[in-house]
Structure formats: structure tokens, C-alpha cells
Structure 1
Amino acid sequence: MKYFLLLIIPFTLFANLNYAFNHNEEVKILDSFDIDAPFLFDKTLNEMRNRNSQIYRSKHFFQAMDDAYIYIPEIKKILSQHNIPAEFLYLAMAESNFSNRAYSKKRAAGLWQFMPRTGKSFGLKIDEYVDERRDPIKSTKAAAKYLSSLHERFGKWYLAAIAYNCGGGRLSKGIKEAKTDDLSVLLNPKKKYLPRESRLYIRKILALALIGYDDKFLLESEYAHLLNRASAFSMSTIQLPSGESLRRFSKTIDLPLGTLKKLNRHLKYDFVPPYKEDYEVYIPYVKLSEFKQKYKRDSVKNIYKVHVVSNGDNLSYIGKKYGVPYKVIMDFNNLKHTRLKLRQKLVIPIDLTSKTTKIKTKHYYLVKKGDTLESISKAHRVSIQNIKKQNKLRGSLIKVGERLKLYE
């Protein structure tokens, strides 16, 4: 028996030390939200934590962390710059599961689930070309400003988190009715000082944070690499000119178009918005050097417009309106037939220069006034015979507005 005790004592001490370490870490997490340690024994919180541990072990938690690893470091950096606890990263997970594609029935969108009005009030642009609520960086900066303003108003981080969910006015009403801002009182399920969703919301954020900071939980999973993966800045911000094609750009720096789109979900179309100023686009940090070496701004800028189909519209009319052959509109929008739907959106490439324009995405040339096969041949270094062969031309006659294929 004596030898058995000698063997088991070290394991018991290790278990106690490990428990003490985990407990201290958990207390720190609660403290970051200005919540007292006894809340760790909240029955609903622990039920949610245990339930989520099982759910997230196989599904959402790790997959969400894995998908978002490239911009999690920057999110943490922005929160730190605004003196917001790093644990508020899990507010974004509670809101959207770290998906910048997330969209709610109430029209909230993006990582931080901003409503249109709130997003605009914190500087996010929402127009025909972009929805910056889906921009992982700009939306995080907006969320940081919003959370900072809520913390300044209510004085405690758990109150800022609750207000983010139900609104400052609703929280103020609850505090007034409860005559205190004490969390255990506000969460009373019988008194209902706060909506049920908000009472569960703060617990959900805490449960996710407790799981996320549980190294043992991570190490026991197939996603142990997440402990180190997001320790370095992984995304770079670059400036692209008005109207730049994402497809052309992705080929230039040898980056899969799908990856580029994933990082830039805020762009509604496959091109940079036609604003006067350059626009910020995100690429993986590992591609920054290649961007600096290979990317050259096109001397001919193609500006795009979006046409919303209304009653009486057809492709021929729309083409004449913008001075673009209807076949180009079909190619640009991947239309297989000429039938249009009411309120359908069509991307129209508009040449704002008087110079000849080559549409790089499809390798076509739009014939301008004064053009001849000879002038086009010299400008694009393609033989007249080649142009004739590709476009099945018998003679040398070409018409203004005609679309010529230049490269097979």
C-alpha cells in the first residue's frame, strides 16, 4: 500500500497543479470581461460549455478557426490597438462563426454582423460595388470603435458585449429596472431584465473563450497546429487601381482566384470598384513580394458600371446605351442566352479613353472610329492574316463597334 501511495502521489500533485493552472487561466478570461471568478460556477454557462465542447470538437470551433487563421492575427492586433481584451475575438465567433459571408434574416452581415445603418455610422461603405461589413479588417476596426464606445458608456466589458447584442438602450432599461449592473442580477431568468438571447449571448462568448484558451482541449484534437498557426501576421493590404480585374490580377501574382475572393468577400463583383481613388485589396503575406515584382498597372483603364434591368430593356438597347456591343455584355456576364430578368444586374465594361482598348479578360478588341486591320495589327502585334483567320473575315472591311478576337 505504501508503494502504491508513493506512485500515485506525484500523479495527484500533477493533476492538482494542472487544475490550478487551468483554473487560474479561466479566472483571467472572466477578469478580461470584468466578471468575478464565482461566475465560473454558473450552471447555464457550464452546461453551454460542455455542450459546445462536444459540438465544436467535431465541427464548428476548429473549422472556423482553421478557415479564419489568415486574418485572426490582424483582428487581435486591431483589438489590442483599441485596448479591447483579446477575448473579444470570440464575440466575432459567436456572431458569425468567423465567416465574412455570414448574413442574418435581419440583414446583419459579415464577421461582426453589422446592420447596414450601424455599419455606415462607423465608417463602413455599403454601395453598388462593395459591402465593407464583409471586409475582415475594416469591419473589425468598426467593431472596435463600437465596442470602445459601449465600454465608455457602461464602464464594464461584459456590459459592452451585452449591449453589442441587444443595443445600448435596451441594456440601459434593464439596468434601470434591476437597479444594478451586477451580472448575476441582470441574468436572472425569472425577472427577465434582459432578453433571453442576450442572457445566453454573454455566456456563449465566455464558453467559446474558455474552449479557445484550453490548450489541453486543442492538443487532444486534430487541430493542435492552431496553437501556433496564428502567431504571425498572415495577410497584407495592397492598393489596386480603379476597375482592375480580379481574374487578371490573380493570374499576375499566381494566386488562385478563389483564395483572392475569399479574402475580399466585400467586393460584390470580380473587379475593383470604379472609384476615383485606388482601393484596398487583401492578399496573403507570402504573395506580397511577388506582387511588388510582377504587378504592373495597365496603361488602359477599363471602368465598369452596373446596369439594373428594368421594364422594356433588352441587350441590344443596353449595348447602345453604353456604346458596348451586346455580345461583349453577354461574354462579360457569362450569359448563355439573350433573355433578361427584371432587376437583373449586368456588369458593363466602359472604355473612358479615346485610345484603342483590348479587353484582357476575353482577349477581344472593340473596333473604334478610324481603325483598320493594319492599325490594329501593328498596335497589338498580331498579323492581319491571323486576325482574319480567327474572325473568319473574307475581306478587310470592319465596322465600328465590331468585336474582334485577337488571341486564341
Structure 2
Amino acid sequence: MQKVKELVLLTIMMIVGIVANAQDKRDSITLLEETPPYLEECLDSLLNQWYINKAHNNLVLDTLPSDEVVSQIPDSVYIKRIADISSPMPYTYNSIVKSHIELYTIRRRELVKNMLGLSEYYFPMFEQELDARQMPMELKYLPIIESALNPRAYSRAGASGLWQFMYYTGKQYGLTINSYVDERRDPYKSTVAAIAFLDDLYAIYKDWFLVIAAYNCGPGNVNKAIRRSGGHRDFWKIYYHLPRETRGYVPAFIAATYTFMYAKEHNLHANPNSLPLATDTISIKQPLHFKQVADMLNVKVDYLRSLNPQYRKDLIPAGDDYALRLAIADASNFAAVEDSVYLHKRETYFVNGKTTVKPQYTAYSPDTPKNKATVYYTVKSGDAVGLIADWYDVRTSDLRYWNNIRRNMIRVGQKLRVYVPKNKTEYYSRINDMSYTDKQQLSSKTVPANSASTKKNEPVDGNYEYYTVRSGDNLWTIARRYSGISNKDLMELNGLTESSKLWIGQKLKIRPKS
């Protein structure tokens, strides 16, 4: 009898184990399904922005140096921290929220640091409008999941800007969209429109999570989910009746709020960017081209684009509704030479000096970098934008910019222009005819151990501390080993450039001996 009882108990335990294992698998599938597919795409889109790349050109993204360990945090800690968030929104914690928190705090750490830096520019703008309408300040985190704080973000569905307005919704809330201007990309005007839209949605649902869901998928889909759930007006109760993408949208919002509020606890700190914190706007009296402003104020066209992303063709039409945003000092300089700016090369950029832009300036045409030569590469089967950039020792974002590449889409046979140092034109011209294996050898940032002997170190200077390069090292990981040392310090001290390749056994100066 005892053996029979033991056998029954064992059978029950096996059944429970099978069910539990099946549940675990179902949960893991659910996590994959509920993660919005656009989320990582939005984060990646941030990499192509001038104001990010200019601030830290040699940053290695999505890698953790050996001294930065990210440990697993117990659920009880997450639960307590989320419960401590003071907000009119009913923040909750579950496995789906956790998966999004880990996306931000573990898998995409460097991009979150970029967004923390950008938030210093954008959040005051959001907070001012939210405060004026007495709405929850936590709504400022919505553009984190909408666009990763990238005003030029453009979704596959056609949504644009920080707040990802669709065309008709943008027009409905007073945003101008025409051949020259897309105010969905205007940080200030789109913020006013988005907060008005959210306010209108709250008048309908009286629940902020339903408002956020409706912002993502539209009131019609939320209304259907409410009806299909039997009339429930709680996000988690209508969860499985919502479109799949929207199911992950509110959890992603909760995770974004958590990540920004507890960034320091996860050792996440703001990366610098080149956006000025203090800006001013200037009303434009006549049609004006960005290159006129750039020439007269001695600034970069990319700088003007970053502060004025709403202008599609680098041209500002004349009118009371159009303005140019500049850093305070540049705005003052503009005011001092305003008439000269309008007259500068006017016939070059406009037909008879009037509104119509000359055709050669309406199309995309990047400036040729100074002291660079142009070489061409023909795309072959198996190529990718990142690989080609590595072979030519250029940034992926530059290669995209030079060739107007969107979402890394290239085709076999397409000719790509690449700008390389003039004294290395012959070297880079040969890459187009190399085999794939030979090209891959070019992209290695450290040479194999057996070829280290072909490199020779400079004589060691006894006045400096040195570091010997090991397999897998790069300038950023080496700099992180030493307090107060940056990758740019190492480049200057050792006469290196962004395209310099390190080799195993190489001795790098770190700093003068004290």
C-alpha cells in the first residue's frame, strides 16, 4: 500500500512538473509576442542622429566593459520601487513589464544613456505643457517608447516625430504638413498637439492607461476591446482583446518610467549631446535656406537641422507661423546680420530670389567633407551597411547620410559613395574588388595573436604609465579601466584617430606618472 501511495504521489508530481514547464514556455512565448517590434527599431534610429554622433564619435554601443556588471534584480525590489512611484497612474509590475525594464536597463544601456542626455533638452518642454493642463508629469515618458526622443523618427505606418503623429491626426490638431514643412517633427508644436490629444482621450476614458493604449492604437480599437471584455474599463482586463502591439505598449511605458526614475540605481548616467539647453526662435521674413544661415553664422547645416527638424528640404518658407530656432548666442548673431543673411547667395538658392527653390537643391545632396576623396562601392549579395562601414573605416551613420539610406535598406548592384582621406584613396579604391574574406579581415579592430609580431611598439617613455593591448580591447574599454581618462585622451596621447586599429601587444600611453 505504501508503494502504491508513493507511485501516485510521484505521478502527480510529474504531471505538475509538465504543466509548470508548459506554463513557463507559454509565458516566454507571450513575452516575445508582447514586446512591441518597433521598440528596438526606435532605439536604433537614434544612432543616426548628428547630435549623438558628434558628442561621442568613438563610443562602442551595447557593450558592457569588464568592470560594469549588471546583476539580476529580485522581483521584490522592482515591486517596491514601482509601488513607491507617486503618480495618479496605477503602476503595476508583472513579467511583461519586467521584460521591458530589462530591455532598457540591460540590453540597450548605451542608448538609454543617450536618451537620458536628450531628456535634458526635451523634458522641460514636455513638463511645461503638462503643467499648464494639470496633467500627470509621467506622460513626458511617452516619447521614449514612441520615438526614443528622435524628432526625425518615422514609422512603417507613416507616423512621424517625437510623438509619432499620423498624418490625419496631426492635421486634426493643427499641425502644418506640406511639401516644405512637417510640424509633426517640430518638438514644441507637436508637444502642444500631443498633450491636447491626450487630454481629449482622458475626457473619454477617465483612465490614463486606457488613454495611453488609445494613443497607440486609436480609440476605435480600445472601444472594441472594452466591448469584447464585457464592458471592463481597466487595461489589464481588456489586455488580450487589444491589438498585439498595444499589449506591450503600456508595459513599455511603465518600464520607461521606472528606468528614468531609477536610472542611478542601475548605474545609468546621461551621455552628453550637442543640443544647446538655451535656445531662442527668430521669425522669418523671407524664404530662407539653411546654407545661407550656416555660411553667415559659421555653423553646420546639421546643427540647424537638429534644432529645426520640421523643415523637410533645408528651407524655411516665409510666414508668421515659421521660425528658426538657434542657440541663444547664434540667435543674437543672426539678429545682428539678419539682412545680410537673406541676401547671401540668394540667386543661388532661389529662382529670381523668390519662394521657389531651384530644383538642384530640392533633392537630397550631402556636402562633400573637406580634405576627402570620393570612392564608390557596389553592393554585393550578403553585404550590410554596418559591414561596409567597417571596411571603409567610417561610421555607419555617415554611410547612411551620404547615400540617403533608410532603415539599413540596400540592394545588390547599388552604388554607394564613401568619403575617405585623400592620401588613402588608392587603398580604399581596391576594396570594391576584394573577396568577402579579404574585406572581413579589414574590419578587425585587433589583429590575430600570430600576427602581432609584425607590429612594433614605439620606445617606452619612462615618464608615462602604459597599458598593453589584449584581445578584444578597444579604446573605450581601456579608458574605463582608469579614473579620469577618456577614449579621446588616449587618442590624443598616442596620436590615434577614429579609424586607427589596435593590435595585440601594442603599448598605449595612459597618463604621465605622478
Shorter-chain-normalised TM-score: which range?
Answer: 0.5 to 0.7
Match of 1:206 among 254, 277, 290: 254
> What amino acid does structure 1 have at the position aligned with 2:104?
N
Q: Which runs of 5 or more structure 2 residues have no equivalent in the other structure?
A: 1-74, 367-514
Shift of 1:252: 3.4
Q: Are the counterparts in 1 of residues 283 and 320 from structure 2 also a CA contact under 8 Å?
A: no
In the alignment, which residue of structure 2 is the partner of 1:97? 148
> What amino acid does structure 1 have at the position aligned with 2:281?
T
In the alignment, which residue of structure 1 is the partner of 2:390? none
Match of 2:96 among 16, 37, 44: 44
- Distance in 1, matches of 2:236 and 2:361, equals 61
- Distance in 1, matches of 2:362 and 2:78, equals 57
Match of 1:182 among 211, 234, 238: 234
- Distance in 1, matches of 2:213 and 2:299, equals 40
Do residues 172 (structure 1) and 216 (structure 2) align? no
> What amino acid does structure 2 have at the position aligned with 1:45?
V
The superposition leaves residues 144-185 of structure 1 with CA deviations (integer Å, 9 ceiling, x where unpaired) of 111010011111111110100111111112112222112331
In the alignment, which residue of structure 2 is the partner of 1:386? none
Going from structure 1 to structure 2, the CA distance change for 1:299 and 1:201 (only over 3 Å counts) comes to closer
Q: Are the counterparts in 2 of residues 68 and 99 from structure 1 also a CA contact under 8 Å?
A: no
Going from structure 1 to structure 2, the CA distance change for 1:323 and 1:303 (only over 3 Å counts) comes to closer
Going from structure 1 to structure 2, the CA distance change for 1:136 and 1:304 (only over 3 Å counts) comes to farther
> What amino acid does structure 2 have at the position aligned with 1:132?
E
Q: Are the counterparts in 2 of residues 29 and 87 from structure 1 also a CA contact under 8 Å?
A: no
Q: Secondary structure at the match of 2:280?
A: strand
Shift of 1:25: 5.9
Larger Rg: 1
Q: Which runs of 5 or more structure 1 residues have no equivalent in the other structure?
A: 1-18, 307-318, 336-408
Going from structure 1 to structure 2, the CA distance change for 1:169 and 1:304 (only over 3 Å counts) comes to farther
> What amino acid does structure 2 have at the position aligned with 1:223?
A
Identity of counterpart residues, as a percentage? 26
Shift of 1:291: 3.6
> What amino acid does structure 1 have at the position aligned with 2:211?
A
- Distance in 2, matches of 1:86 and 1:31, equals 8
Q: Are the counterparts in 2 of residues 211 and 217 from structure 1 also a CA contact under 8 Å?
A: no
In the alignment, which residue of structure 1 is the partner of 2:82? 26
Alignment of 1:310-325 (within 5 A): none
The superposition leaves residues 313-369 of structure 1 with CA deviations (integer Å, 9 ceiling, x where unpaired) of xxxxxx9xx899xxx86588779xxxxxxxxxxxxxxxxxxxxxxxxxxxxxxxxxx
The superposition leaves residues 125-156 of structure 1 with CA deviations (integer Å, 9 ceiling, x where unpaired) of 01111011111111111101110100111111
Shift of 1:84: 2.5
Q: Are the counterparts in 2 of residues 186 and 194 from structure 1 also a CA contact under 8 Å?
A: yes
In the alignment, which residue of structure 2 is the partner of 1:340? none
Going from structure 1 to structure 2, the CA distance change for 1:69 and 1:247 (only over 3 Å counts) comes to farther
Q: Secondary structure at the match of 1:137?
A: helix
> What amino acid does structure 1 have at the position aligned with 2:236?
S
> What amino acid does structure 1 have at the position aligned with 2:105?
S
Alignment of 1:91-170 (within 5 A): 91-170=142-221
Q: Are the counterparts in 2 of residues 78 and 144 from structure 1 also a CA contact under 8 Å?
A: yes
- Distance in 2, matches of 1:252 and 1:69, equals 29
Q: Secondary structure at the match of 1:237?
A: strand
Going from structure 1 to structure 2, the CA distance change for 1:278 and 1:132 (only over 3 Å counts) comes to closer
- Distance in 2, matches of 1:100 and 1:323, equals 30
Q: Secondary structure at the match of 2:326?
A: strand
Q: Are the counterparts in 1 of residues 116 and 270 from structure 2 also a CA contact under 8 Å?
A: no
- Distance in 1, matches of 2:141 and 2:182, equals 23
Going from structure 1 to structure 2, the CA distance change for 1:323 and 1:115 (only over 3 Å counts) comes to closer
- Distance in 1, matches of 2:270 and 2:137, equals 21
In the alignment, which residue of structure 1 is the partner of 2:41? none
The superposition leaves residues 99-122 of structure 1 with CA deviations (integer Å, 9 ceiling, x where unpaired) of 111111111111111111111000
- Distance in 1, matches of 2:353 and 2:347, equals 13
Q: Secondary structure at the match of 1:283?
A: strand
In the alignment, which residue of structure 1 is the partner of 2:323? 280
Q: Are the counterparts in 2 of residues 73 and 233 from structure 1 also a CA contact under 8 Å?
A: no
> What amino acid does structure 2 have at the position aligned with 1:137?
Y
Alignment of 1:177-326 (within 5 A): 177-178=228-229, 179-187=231-239, 192-217=240-265, 220-223=267-270, 234-273=278-317, 275-277=318-320, 279-296=322-339
Going from structure 1 to structure 2, the CA distance change for 1:298 and 1:200 (only over 3 Å counts) comes to closer
Which 10-residue stretch deviates more, 42-51 or 121-130? Answer: 42-51
Shift of 1:287: 3.3
Shift of 1:22: 8.5
- Distance in 2, matches of 1:25 and 1:80, equals 24
- Distance in 1, matches of 2:361 and 2:77, equals 62
- Distance in 1, matches of 2:216 and 2:232, equals 19
Going from structure 1 to structure 2, the CA distance change for 1:234 and 1:25 (only over 3 Å counts) comes to farther
Which 10-residue stretch deviates more, 167-176 or 252-261? Answer: 252-261
Q: Secondary structure at the match of 1:238?
A: strand
Q: Secondary structure at the match of 1:112?
A: coil
Shift of 1:20: 11
Q: Are the counterparts in 2 of residues 101 and 265 from structure 1 also a CA contact under 8 Å?
A: yes
Counting matched residue pairs gives 286
- Distance in 2, matches of 1:122 and 1:238, equals 24
> What amino acid does structure 2 have at the position aligned with 1:173?
K
